[in-house]
């Protein structure tokens, strides 16, 4: 039977984890909630770089490493490929499709934080939906701006910044209310994809507001890449069926001998 290590920290990964077996392992960095109702084992915290991960793969007898981390978790994804190669373990990845711009969208892609600040200079009420990154810049907010920063956990704001701790999914109605309450004139987002956080883009389109979009890190090539969790799970089932058929055949040959 193939033993799986699933690298998670996303809703998509959690859905896969619910289909794993009791010998498989679901791994989290430790930033969010740790589920306690999964059929598999759960481990929390870094491995200590690619070398640490390679040691873990070998030590735990892992046969398949599945990278279902967030598209912006570039370091972990790179580590997975290096460690898989080092330990001789197959690596699969789940790569969520990015959102596609529709008629009426005004998306402005930027490569990094300085370019983002430049793109925001003409606006006064940005809504940041990038996670915690803006929190370390709250003391450097331009005088003409008032920021709304939404991230997973509560955090103190200041005279120029309101920080909202909230976890998706977010509805169209709640996003409309948020934009109105704070008089938002531009949205700042990662190019994450997925339905859970898409409503802000719908509201931006409705109101003719631009979205400053932090470009995705380059995707890292793995042995197999899946665009959706259901396809990945189907491939995992096939792999396990093949492995168990092979196991039965080998055992019966041994019995006949």
Residues that bind ligand NAP (CB under 6 A): 7-10, 27-29, 31, 46-49, 52-53, 69-70, 72-76, 79, 131, 190
Of 5 and 236, CB closest to ligand NAP: 5
Of 7 and 149, CB closest to ligand NAP: 7
E-only strand ranges, 191-240: 211-214, 224-226
Distance of closest approach, residue 155 Cβ to ligand NAP, in angstroms: 16
Of 186 and 220, CB closest to ligand NAP: 220
Distance of closest approach, residue 140 Cβ to ligand NAP, in angstroms: 21
Report the Cα–Cα distance between both ends of the chain, in Å, rounded: 23
Q: How many CB atoms lie within 10 A of CB 179?
A: 21
Distance of closest approach, residue 27 Cβ to ligand NAP, in angstroms: 4
3-state secondary structure of 106: coil
DSSP string, 117-167: HHHHTT-S-EEEESTTGGGGGGGG--TT--EEEEESS----BTTEEEEE--
Output the CA–CA distances (angstroms, integers) from residue 103 to 1, 17, 39, 106, 219, in the order listed.
49, 36, 43, 9, 26
Distance of closest approach, residue 184 Cβ to ligand NAP, in angstroms: 21
Of 112 and 256, CB closest to ligand NAP: 112
Distance of closest approach, residue 67 Cβ to ligand NAP, in angstroms: 8
d(CA 189, CA 39) in angstroms, rounded, equals: 34
Of 6 and 117, CB closest to ligand NAP: 6
């Amino acid at each position: 039977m193939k033993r799986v290590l699933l690298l998670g920290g996303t809703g998509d990964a959690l859905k896969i984890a619910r289909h794993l077996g009791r010998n498989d392992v679901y791994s989290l960095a430790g930033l969010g909630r740790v589920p306690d109702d999964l059929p598999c084992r759960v481990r929390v915290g870094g491995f200590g770089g690619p070398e640490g991960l390679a040691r873990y793969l070998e030590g735990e007898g892992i046969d398949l490493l599945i990278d279902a981390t967030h598209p912006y978790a570039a370091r972990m994804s790179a580590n997975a490929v290096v460690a898989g190669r080092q330990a001789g373990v197959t690596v699969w990845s789940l790569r969520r499709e990015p959102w596609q711009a529709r008629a009426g969208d005004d998306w402005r892609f930027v490569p990094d934080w300085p370019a983002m600040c430049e793109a925001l200079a003409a606006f006064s009420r940005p809504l940041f939906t990038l996670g915690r990154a803006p929190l370390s810049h709250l003391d450097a907010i331009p005088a003409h701006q008032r920021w709304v920063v939404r991230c997973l956990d509560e955090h103190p704001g200041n005279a120029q910044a309101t920080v909202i701790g909230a976890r998706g999914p977010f509805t169209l109605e709640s996003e409309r209310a948020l934009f109105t309450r704070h008089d938002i004139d531009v949205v700042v987002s990662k190019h994450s994809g997925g339905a859970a956080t898409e409503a802000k883009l719908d509201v931006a389109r409705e109101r003719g507001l631009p979205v400053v979009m932090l470009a995705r890190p380059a995707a890292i090539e793995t042995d197999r890449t899946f665009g959706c969790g259901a396809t990945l799970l189907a491939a995992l089932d096939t792999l396990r069926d093949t492995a168990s058929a092979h196991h039965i055949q080998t055992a019966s040959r041994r019995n006949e001998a």
